[in-house]
Amino acid sequence: MNIHAQRTSLSGHVQVPGSKSHTIRALLLASLAEGESRIHNPLPSADCLSTAAAVPLIGAAVDLARGEDGEPGSVWTVQGAGRAAHLPSDVVNVGDSGSLLYFLSPIAATFEGWSVFTGDESIRRRPVHHVVDALQQLGAEAYTSQPGSQCCPLLIRGPISCARKVVTGGTVSSQYISGLMMAGMLMDGTLSIELTDPKETPYLTMTQKWLEKVGVPVSVSPDFRHITVSGPVHISGFDCTIPSDWEGVAYPLIAALLTDSEIVIDHVDCSGTQGDDAIVALLQSLGADISWDRANESLTVRGMKKSRSGVGRLSTAALPGGELHADLSGYPDAVCALAAVACFVEGSTYIEDIAVCRRKETDRISVLKQELSALGAEVEEGEDFLVIHGHSPVLEDGSPNPAFALHGGTVRSWDDHRVAMSLACLGLGLPAGESLTVLDAECCSVSFPRFFDVMNGIGAQFSAENALH
């Protein structure tokens, strides 16, 4: 599916789906629990559905409450395997879900015997050598099936043991650290994890809070370099409500800022368990008109002529050195959205410490440079950073800015949901008469099902056509 976008204005209320990160953690822990768990407001995305399809392989049962149309319902029920949880009974195909791969593989390694993990073409390009090394330190046999490869298929023979602590970097991803933490609740003793360079630390806090919620003793040092989890702990079924996904909030947020719009994003997560909420303060530092009503769990976003200034110009002028330096090591999934909006900011935006983005669904650093440059943006790429030298579409008095050179064209999604959504939102802010086509945009379903329908509900006017291959 190809998506066409052009300048528009947005208005009304919008709600984004539940958090993918929370949904997958809830499914895995419910599967390991004794008895029934009920998960309210889960995200019915491709990654979460892959998780729901995988956990029966370790003994759980999942009811997605599908309606007559076949779509998953708003409350999922999990019959946990509890003490009967076992080695995966078949090859685990994680689809396109790195979260599922990195979470479930350490859990599978706690059982005696061989388990095999694979996935789609994208997953088979993502590294697992860090998982292999960590599990080998704990006494498992772990290999990639292809000689010389650092990617899936991944073969593991457990069980792992707490006899030695794990010493690992933490730079490739935080997800396998979360997987080890969840595996610790199944192990006999205290699992010690030492991180030499922890990244994406808000997600480690999220895992910690989930484990504490279900009664697992866990300790995380203030610098995130030392983590312990004590087991075995036999947890009971639970009821939970999945909070909204801040990674999803970013897209209507930036779309409103780039257009003559006023929208309200309802039911945003105010718990502080998702590091991506830091994007609000970043954008406000550029002059973005965003009001966060924590009592009512809503964001009001006013862009361009609808902003309270009547101009809506975003600029780095008030920041130290006249530049925005954004360290996104804690929430790298915001890179695509921030890069898109940075093209409309007067001044230079440095998006830093994001090497992990080269190992996501695609090499996001390289892809963003390529696609944004094709639209007229001035972008620099480094091993672990992006620099966007942007221009606001308007001058301080609201008149057109002759230096603004962004234009329409055709761009690729690279089958990366965050690239597709960010570029589509960028298209809404292009000058009148320009349009943008995003190829193969159906990948948005990985984290935001019905994204284009939801956005059209507030006036985005995205149009779709079937891709020709």
Q: Which residues are catalytic?
A: 333
CA–CA dist 164, 189 (Å, integer): 11
Q: How many CB atoms lie within 10 A of CB 366?
A: 14
- The torsion angle over the Cα atoms of residues 387, 392, 395 and 397, rounded to 10 degrees, is -130
Burial of 3 per CB tally in 10 Å (0-12, 13-18, 19+): buried
CA–CA dist 295, 277 (Å, integer): 16
Burial of 84 per CB tally in 10 Å (0-12, 13-18, 19+): exposed
DSSP notation for 35-66 = EEEEEES---SHHHHHHHHHGGGGT-EEE---
CA–CA dist 89, 322 (Å, integer): 57
CA–CA dist 206, 174 (Å, integer): 11
CB 379 within 8 A of CB 347: no
Dihedral-angle region of residue 200 (phi above 0 means left; psi in -120 to 50 means alpha; beta otherwise):
left
Cα 138–Cα 185–Cα 97 angle in degrees, nearest 5:
80
DSSP notation for 151-205 = BSSEEEEE---TTS-EEE---S-SHHHHHHHHHHTTSSEEEEEEESS--SHHHHH
Q: Both tokens of residue 217?
A: 């003793």
CB 251 within 8 A of CB 451: yes
